[in-house]
Structure 1
């Protein structure tokens, strides 16, 4: 970009988009726990979602934090991407990830009656698939660290061999994997119940707006550097935005079109929110 004034404007617009998407995505974490608190119940919310969600955002916090504050990781990125030199990770990415981790943990704890006293359906149990995914994601970075230490001639400092940046990329891929699969249990639960009652649509609306803004910032940053490898050099941000938008559209269709009148239906299940719910404090979710 040869025009200095235009470059200043684009950089300012990029920062504005970054903070806008951060606030939009951050806001998406509040409606569901507030809704649960008002109902004193988690019925209608798939427990698989918060179980893996906090792990995903913990990994994303590590990824964004090291790209911002680790000189080694930044140098290795610059060596692999000489045209752009600087990763397209911004402070707002890290701020969002850290905030999301905390809120995800709070939502997960709402499935523990001993903490909040909420009603938890006896059907709200973590699936074996999600448990396997959870522990597989915990072990995966350890495997990559072992590969780096065993195959790198200088202990992971050579950016063109197995390096520490590959460990950080592993955390980002874990976040991406979790994002791809975490929405599926909720979409399936809505389908089985033919209802979105008990599950808030507001987070998906904030989520959709954040995905669009995040994608716009990534494209703008890459155009600013005149290097479109800035997009592929930050694959997690690119794919997170697209996957988020895709699933948000599914939820929007479920809530506003397919099951629009579900709140008036008599759902023949324990989670029928049109009838009083029995508060059974002995009901506990399966622990990870």
Structure 2
């Protein structure tokens, strides 16, 4: 049966929104590492941001990849969502996640002077709350795998009980936690420095565009299925966009209203402040 013109149009809009948000969010990863490189310094950027962001996008890549490519996970999803058995994950979701992970790793490595030669804080250690949350997330995923393996029906392959899709759900929430946590130290850093110098506002503007388009695509896809559980069934994508929009609003307020008079003349202050308080970042695997 052929789709009506309205359905065809909505599918086209969904595809356009999907690749547009992919482009906007993908481009948003570039301004910050480029800014760091051009300034020759990572000052103004808290280490917590790429530190926890790398974990978040690793989790998100696995989540989107399994919902898109894994027959087991897709079958378990269909069993739990009979009204709309096909996940609302699109190819652009997976490509975006993988690309984001790669760029997060690049930004993370900029805190290694031996790789990029950038000036970094002498006190290089992730903040304690972020570190605790980082390892807590990893422990939660390992625990979920153990519980499904031991207590899941048929080794976790029966979706009527604990199943491997529950591990994917946990990974999705790891991404949400990482997204929430990564912004808080940066908001606090900007507040304490009374400046956004060193923090790229370009990535925030692209973030806003990507978030709106991502939400629009999710709503369209669910409406086409005539089942709004398609939205809740893709919780990471739903809350990722909303959390991002909330923090983007804060960063835009800081940059264009609260600290709009702060310029590069604050550079000296920013360096000393990041050494003592803001950056406090250490590559995770350093001795």
Give the match's secondary structure for 1:50.
Answer: helix
Q: TM-score, normalised by structure 1?
A: 0.93
Task: Structure 1: state its 5+ residue gaps.
Answer: none
Question: Structure 1 residues 143 and 150, CA, compared in 2 at 3 Å: closer, same or farther?
Answer: same
Pairing of 1:96-115 with structure 2 (within 5 A): 96-115=96-115
Tell me what 2:43 maps to: 43
Separation of aligned partners in 2, 1:237 and 1:151:
28
Give the match's secondary structure for 2:154.
Answer: coil
Tell me what 2:133 maps to: 133
**Deviation (angstroms), 1:50:** 0.2
Pairing of 1:258-277 with structure 2 (within 5 A): 258-263=258-263, 266=266, 269=269, 271=271
Pairing of 1:33-112 with structure 2 (within 5 A): 33-112=33-112
Tell me what 2:142 maps to: 142
Separation of aligned partners in 1, 2:7 and 2:150:
44
Preserved contact between residue 120 and residue 285 of structure 1 (Cα < 8 Å): no
Tell me what 1:23 maps to: 23
RMSD: 2.0
Separation of aligned partners in 2, 1:66 and 1:286:
29
Deviations 1:29-64 (A, max 9, x none): 001111111111001100000001011001000000
Greater fraction of residues in helix = 2
Q: TM-score, normalised by structure 2?
A: 0.93
Question: Structure 1 residues 76 and 188, CA, compared in 2 at 3 Å: closer, same or farther?
Answer: same
May I ask how many residue pairs the two structures share in their alignment? 280
Separation of aligned partners in 1, 2:282 and 2:170:
29
**Deviation (angstroms), 1:165:** 0.3
Task: Structure 2: state its 5+ residue gaps.
Answer: none
Preserved contact between residue 112 and residue 283 of structure 2 (Cα < 8 Å): no
Preserved contact between residue 111 and residue 283 of structure 2 (Cα < 8 Å): no
Preserved contact between residue 193 and residue 267 of structure 1 (Cα < 8 Å): no
Question: Structure 1 residues 266 and 83, CA, compared in 2 at 3 Å: closer, same or farther?
Answer: closer
Of 273, 284, 287, the residue aligned with 1:287 is: 284
